[in-house]
Amino acid sequence: MDKMSEIISQLKKTGIVPVVKIDDEQKGIKVMEALRAGGINCAEITFRTANAASVIKAVSSTFPDAFIGAGTVLNAAQVDSAVEAGAKFIVSPGFNPKTVAYCQSKNIPMLPGCSTASEIEIAIEMGLSQVKFFPAEESGGLKKIKALSGPFPQMEFMPTGGINLSNLAEYLSFSKVIACGGSFMVSSKLIEEENYDEITRISKEAMKIVNAR
Q: Which of 132, 144, 156, 176 is catalytic?
A: 132
Euclidean distance between CA atoms 91 and 74, whole angstroms? 9
CA atoms within 13 A on the CB side of 137: 11
Our answer to whether residue 132 is catalytic in this structure is yes
Region for 88 from its dihedrals, namely left if φ exceeds 0, alpha if ψ lies in -120 to 50, beta otherwise: alpha
Q: Which of 44, 88, 144, 156 is catalytic?
A: 44
The type of residue at 193 is E
Region for 146 from its dihedrals, namely left if φ exceeds 0, alpha if ψ lies in -120 to 50, beta otherwise: alpha
Among 36, 177, 203, which Cα is nearest to 111's? 177
How do the residues of the chain divide into helix, strand and coil, expressed in percent and rounded to 5? 50, 15, 35
Our answer to whether residue 156 is catalytic in this structure is no
Residues that are catalytic: 44, 132
